[in-house]
Chains A and B, each alone.
Chain A
Amino acid sequence: MLIRGLWSYHQGYVIIKVKGSHIEEFLNRASKEGIYLWQIERLSSELLIARVSVSGFRRLREIVRSVPVTVRIRQRMGLPFLKQKLGQRIALLAGAILSILCIYMLSSIVWFVQIHGAEQLDTALVNETLQEAGIRPGVWRSSIDSREIEKQLMLNLPQLAWAGVRLRGTLLEVTIVEKVEMSVDERVPGDIVADKNALVTQIIPFVGTVLVEEGETVTEGQVLIDGGLGGPDSMGQGVGEGYLRAAGMVKGRVWYKGFGEADLVCYVSHRTGRVQTTHRLSIGAWHWDWGELPPFDSYEEETKRQRPAVARLKWELPIELVTTDYHELVTERVETDPDVAKETALRRSWEAIEARLTPKAEILSQEVELITEERNGDTLIRVKRIVEVHEEIGTFRARWNREAKEIREGSR
């Protein structure tokens, strides 16, 4: 079937329409003459459609003379006819060839360069390096040697641990992996200092010299464990010249003060339901407004921006419709229950402290003072809270700041 179809397409055939009352006789004559007919279909008692080769069609004329039927060509099929048609339409043929060439050419150019995996590193820097290596949108695919680009990237960007370049159609995918560098903070020498005013309760030094004693009061910024290599009892590994990176755990008692207040009367505004709507249509730099501004004393704005976007192309048209709804507001005076207000003030005073505590802080004692105040004719409940906690107070401070200062002073 397939072979027959291909062969007849190659040789060319015609679909004929046979009309008349002696169709069976026509078929018998044709087959007797050795004319091959196929896909014969009777559409009505006097109409038949069949396929016949070009040479067969010529020989059918003989039969038509002796049998009272008419034979018409309905359609010419196959390669010879296609050639003939295309030969008459050279422009079409040239256009088809040209468009195929165009597609071929356009698809052998790199149009997009994508860089994945840049976290610390600036993508622009990677792009620059790629451009130096001759990679930018618009270069021929054949001119790209992935291994060579990878090498170039690795040589020019010391921050990279690995670089991979892959061509996917017209997209050049550059995947980079950055080296994980130890943060500067983890290597420099320095001291452990107090990060808040406290009463020292416990010191466990790992590296460095302890400068304070348990039971001593320290102020914020005071050195607790010194990283200097001065003392004969200093131990640990040396980092930098003459300094260590001090380490240790210092705990102390810290007092926190927190305030919280709550009004007994508050003003709540809510929408009345009246809405005024305005529109703005902008195209590029131009814009048109319509709709009146609201006549309300107080109102709330709600803005909606609509941009027609071609989702598939991730491309937005420079047209924007901005709809602004103005909702009228009324303000109402609401009186709060004194107990609820007190709760709120208490909670706020705690929240003010909680944010400053270290996560592992242990609460030793709490003191709460309630004050009722009059302000602008409204009653106000204030809460003063003092919390005593036991927590870590030491924090690392790099030494090189101090060192730099000393050097500068000495050079003068």
Chain B
Amino acid sequence: MGKTTRDRLLQTLASAFELPEDVVLDLTRITITGNTQFLMENHRGILAYDPEKISLRTDQGETVITGRNLKIDSLFASEIMITGSINGIQFIRSRG
């Protein structure tokens, strides 16, 4: 609970000083190129991976990418690039 208070404070600060929220709050940043490339920074790991669906854990919950022939083009500690034919992206908020 304390974490959310801290988050709220940081968010207020970020908007007050016009700082990018993803830097201050460690939010995920997603870049999509067409429907073939999906780049996510600040991910927290892979929950499930198969060629039709990839679930990624983030601080905010879960991000699900659906499509066909999905491949992980590169995988770093905080960055993941997915290629393939992307059909949908879904954000699922964690229970907390």
Interface residues of A (CB under 8 A from B): 4, 23-24, 27-28, 30-32, 34, 36-42, 45, 50
A42: chain B residues within 8 A (beta carbon): 49-51, 71
B15 within 8 A of A: no
Per a CB cutoff under 8 Å, which of B45, B50, B51, B74 touches A37?
Answer: B74
Contacts of A30 in B (CB 8 A): 75
In the assembled complex, the Cα of A39 lies from the Cα of B75 at a distance in Å of: 9
Q: Which of B48-80 touch A at CB < 8 Å?
A: 48-51, 71-77, 80
Decide: B46 and A28 in contact? CB cutoff 8 A: yes
Chain A residues positioned under 8 Å from B49 (CB to CB): 23-24, 27, 40, 42
State the Cβ distance, B71 to closest chain A Cβ, in Å: 5
* Structural contact, B73 and A38, CB atoms closer than 8 A: yes
* Shortest distance between the CB of B67 and any CB in chain A (Å): 13
Known contacts A40-B73, A41-B72, A42-B49; 14 additional CB pairs below 8 A are A4-B74, A23-B49, A24-B48, A24-B49, A27-B46, A31-B75, A36-B74, A36-B75, A37-B72, A37-B74, A38-B72, A39-B71, A41-B71, A45-B50
Q: When chains A and B are docked, how far (Å) is the Cα of A41 from the Cα of B47? A: 16
Q: Is B76 within 8 A of A36, CB to CB?
A: yes
Residue of A23, A40, A45 near B75 (CB, 8 A) is: A40
Chain A: minimal CB distance from B49 (Å): 6
Across-interface contacts of B76 in A (CB, < 8 A) = 31, 34, 36
Q: How far is the CB of B72 from chain A (nearest CB, A)?
A: 4
Q: B residues within 8 A CB of A4? A: 74
| Min distance, Cβ A16 to any Cβ of chain B, angstroms | 13
Pairs A–B under 8 Å by Cβ, sample size 29:
A4-B74, A24-B45, A24-B47, A24-B48, A27-B49, A27-B72, A30-B75, A31-B45, A31-B75, A31-B77, A31-B80, A32-B45, A32-B77, A34-B76, A34-B77, A36-B74, A36-B75, A37-B74, A39-B72, A39-B73, A39-B74, A40-B71, A40-B72, A40-B73, A41-B51, A41-B72, A42-B51, A42-B71, A45-B50
Residues of A within 8 A of B47 (CB): 24
Instruction: Name B45's closest neighbour in chain A (CB-CB).
Output: A28
Q: Helix, strand, loop or mixed for chain B's interface?
A: strand
B interface residues, tally (CB under 8 Å): 15
A31 to B76, CA, bound (A): 5
* A-side contacts of B72, CB under 8 Å: 27, 37-41, 50
Please determine whether A37 and B48 come into contact, CB atoms closer than 8 angstroms. no
Contact partners of A39 in chain B: CB under 8 A: 71-74
List chain B residues, Cβ under 8 A from A34: 76-77
Q: How far is the CB of B55 from chain A (nearest CB, A)?
A: 9
CA–CA, A4 and B73, complex, Å: 12
Write out the residue numbers on chain A whose beta carbons fall within 8 Å of the beta carbon of B46: 24, 27-28
* Contact assessment for A27 and B77 in the assembled complex, using a CB-CB cutoff below 8 Å: no
What separation, in Å, do the CA atoms of A376 and B40 have in the docked complex?
113
Complex Cα–Cα for A38 and B47 (A): 18
Determine the distance from Cα of A27 to Cα of B54 in the docked complex, in whole angstroms. Answer: 13
Given contacts A24-B46, A24-B49, A42-B50, contact A37 B75 (CB under 8 A): yes
Contacts of B71 in A (CB 8 A): 39-42
Query: Shortest beta-carbon distance, B59 to chain A, in Å?
Result: 15
